[in-house]
Structure formats: C-alpha cells, structure tokens
Amino acid sequence: MLKVSRRQFFKVTGTTLASSSLTLLGAAPAPAMAEVRQYKLARMTETRNTCPYCSVACGVLLYSLGDGAKNAKARIVHIEGDADHPVNRGTLCPKGAGLTDFINSPNRLTHPEYRAPGSDKWERISWDDALTRIARHMKDDRDANFVERNDEGQIVNRWLTTGMLAASASSNEVAYITHKVVRAMGTLAFDNQARV
Ligand code: SF4
C-alpha cells in the first residue's frame, strides 16, 4: 500500500505523472527500478583476446553487438581490460584503451594486398593466394641460397637471405613452435615485433 502525504501527492502530480514520478511516490517495485539501471553491456557478446600492440600482451574483453541472428551484424562497440588476466589484471595503457577506435577505423587493413613489380597500385588478393605466394617465394629463395657448409667445410645449414618477424602477442606455446619452425628452416635473422 502506498504511503503518500498530501504534500507529496500535490508536489509530484502537479508536475507530471511520468514513470520517474511514480518512482518518487514509491509505486515502482524494485525489479522495475533495476530494469531502468540495467548493466549497459549485459546483452552483448563477450570475447576474450590479447592486445596486439606490444610484448606485455595484456588481456582484453571485447564486447560486440549482434546475437548471431541471421540479420544481426556483429560489431565491436566496447573494449576493456580483463580483470581475470594475470598480466594486466584489468588495466590497459592508453594504446590498449584505444583499441575500439583501431578496430573500427576505416583505414584498417583487413585483407592481404599485392603490388606487382613496377606497379603503382596495390591489389586485393585472397588469403590463400597470399599464403601460396609467400610459400613459393620462401621455397625458391631457400633453394637458391641455403648454405650447407662454410668455407672450412663445416656443416652450418643456414639460410641468410630471408628473415622472420614474429608477433609479440603470441603465447609461450606459439612462440616456442614459431621458433622451432624458423630455426628448422635454417633462418638466422629472427626477431620479434615487441622490439620494433
Ligand atoms: S594495453 Fe598497452 S601495455 Fe598492454 S599490451 Fe596493449 S600496448 Fe602493451
């Protein structure tokens, strides 16, 4: 039962009987109040990921619109530090905190491009074509320049004409496997984006 004094009644109804006024009168039950104050990210899809910028590799939470329905277009609208991540425990530096703008930037490159020798323009190619081209170039270069023995006849098995730059956001396991693959091919020039 509502408990409203005469003064309260005239004060509120004299202006408006909108929902906020009903709340002041005590007519809005707690669930209705809670609905008004709903958590802004409650209906979004949460995805865990790693900030790609530097070797600290902070954990981030990506929040996207779209519930997977046929016509719903997923779009990342909010990113924040992952409080459960052991590296950053929810914090992000200014670069990481600006990831939403980076992801939604119209200038962001989202597909491989190729510029033919002598050409003045880049052309879009598929990921399959890009990987095939890279593999072809690596194989040809290694076949032509692999050094099995040095001048003294010692076995060196090295490939000096191609280098590898690895990603700084790799996990320990990915970094370990990348290192094994690169060294197995004989590559000596091997560095990490974390130092760039
Ligand atoms: S949030 Fe900052 S410190 Fe953390 S990985 Fe990204 S760039 Fe590095």
Select the more confidently predicted residue: 50 or 154. 154
Q: Which atom of ligand 1 is nearest to the CA of 88?
A: 4
Q: What is the pLDDT of residue 67?
A: 67
* Antiparallel, parallel or unpaired: β 155-158 and 147-149: antiparallel
Q: What is the pLDDT of residue 69?
A: 73
pLDDT band, residue 193 (cuts 50/70/90): confident
Average pLDDT over residues 74-102: 94
pLDDT over 90 for what percent of the chain? 57
Its pTM stands at 0.63
Average pLDDT, the chain: 85
Q: What is the pLDDT of residue 42?
A: 76
Helix (H, G, I), strand (E, B) or coil at 61: strand
> Read out DSSP for 152-186?
TS-EEEEB-S--EEE-TT--HHHHHHHHHHHHHTT
Spacing, Cα 68 to ligand 1 middle (Å): 30
- In this model, does residue 6 exceed pLDDT 90? no
- Whose CA is closest to atom 8 on ligand 1? 54
Spacing, Cα 80 to ligand 1 middle (Å): 12
- In this model, does residue 1 exceed pLDDT 80? no
- Best substitution site from 50, 58, 99 to test ligand 1's pocket, by max atoms within 8 Å of Cβ? 58
Q: Which two tokens stand for residue 114?
A: 């190729």
Spacing, Cα 194 to ligand 1 middle (Å): 11
Q: Which of 14-23, 109-118, 172-181, 186-195 has the lowest mean pLDDT?
A: 14-23
Please state the domain extents for the chain.
6-36, 45-104, 109-139, 146-196
Taking domain 45-104, whether its CATH number is 2.60.40.420 is answered by no
Q: What is the pLDDT of residue 70?
A: 76
Average pLDDT over residues 156-169: 91
- Which residues surround ligand 1 with Cβ inside 6 Å? 51, 53-54, 56-58, 88, 92-93, 95-96
Q: What is the pLDDT of residue 156?
A: 97
Closest to 76 measured CA to CA, from 90, 95, 62? 62
- Whose CA is closest to atom 1 on ligand 1? 96
